[in-house]
Amino acid sequence: MDQPHSARMYDYYLGGITNFPADRETAVKTLNAFPAAPIAARVNRRFMHRATRHAAAAHGISQFLDIGTGIPTSPNLHEIAQTTAPHARVVYTDNDPIVLTHAQALLRSHPDGVTAYMQADARDPDEILGHRTLTTTLDFTRPIALSLVALLHFLTNDEAHTLVEQLKAALPAGSTLAISHGTPDFDPDGVARVARIYADAGSPIHLRTREEITTFFTGWELLPPGVVPTRTWHPDPDDPTNTVTDADASTYAALAHKPA
């Protein structure tokens, strides 16, 4: 708890109270270097809501796997999914022990559905795919909506591509993949300052260009509008984050579909 952690810093940006002095100290340094961090977190969170709704409503998916869940912030993914599909089954995963201690909040499922949590590391996809919680909660013969939202930039190229490729191979046709990801494309100096602070805090980040992020979807069908600045991905008309600049959000997002 005396080391800053990305999950708890993100919680601080979102106005949460599940963070400690070490997290707040590094988060404040980030805010000084990149004042839009809380805006970027909100833009990202709203993409998760829209992508989840889209997978459930437009693709009829009722099984969800969310890796890099973060500290619960309502509405959480299962609340969005179960609003459209009350019987939705959701598995959450994170490697931060503090997320585990708050997992009870995530497990308050709609009575018709299921919500489960497993602590696992995204750098070990075999552990995730073989985890009993996953294999007993989700049916891998039916489509699954996979969410890697604001996660992959915490992984090296090797780690990120190994994770994505193993998961893509394991999921059946009709599954979807939602990714949001930090990028240097809009404000290279601003995000370089953030990257230095995270690296100094022991949590290096790997920002990627639009082209690099697009490679995570190789072999799957990118759904319109493709890989775009996050707030422009199927924006809700009355969303206050619609007016945020690309530089302030500094992320891309997309949803793809596994073809038959």
Ligand X SMILES: C[S@@+](CC[C@H](N)C(=O)[O-])C[C@H]1O[C@@H](n2cnc3c(N)ncnc32)[C@H](O)[C@@H]1O
Q: Which residues bind ligand X (CB under 6 A)?
A: 6-7, 10, 44-45, 48, 68-70, 94-96, 99, 121-123, 149-151, 154
How many CA atoms does the CB half-sphere of 1 hold within 13 Å?
A: 6
Structure-block tokens of residue 178: 């939602």
- Closest distance of CB 7 from ligand X, Å: 3
**CA triplet 200, 203, 206: central angle to 5 degrees?**
100
Using CB positions, name the residue nearest to ligand X.
70
Cβ proximity to ligand X: between 10 and 220 the closer is 10
Amino acid (one-letter) located at 139: D
Cβ proximity to ligand X: between 76 and 111 the closer is 76
Please, what is the end-to-end C-alpha distance for the chain in angstroms?
46
Cβ proximity to ligand X: between 172 and 205 the closer is 205
- Closest distance of CB 11 from ligand X, Å: 8
Cβ proximity to ligand X: between 91 and 151 the closer is 151
Contacts of 198 (CB under 8 A, 6+ apart): 6, 26, 30, 204, 205
Q: What is the CA radius of gyration of the chain?
A: 17
- Closest distance of CB 125 from ligand X, Å: 10
- Closest distance of CB 224 from ligand X, Å: 22
Cβ proximity to ligand X: between 82 and 180 the closer is 180
φ/ψ of residue 178, rounded to 5: -105, 130
Q: Determine contact, residues 117/93, Cβ cutoff 8 Å.
A: yes
Round to whole Å and give the CA distance between 18 and 116: 21
Q: Determine contact, residues 232/225, Cβ cutoff 8 Å.
A: yes
Cβ proximity to ligand X: between 116 and 122 the closer is 122
- Closest distance of CB 164 from ligand X, Å: 13
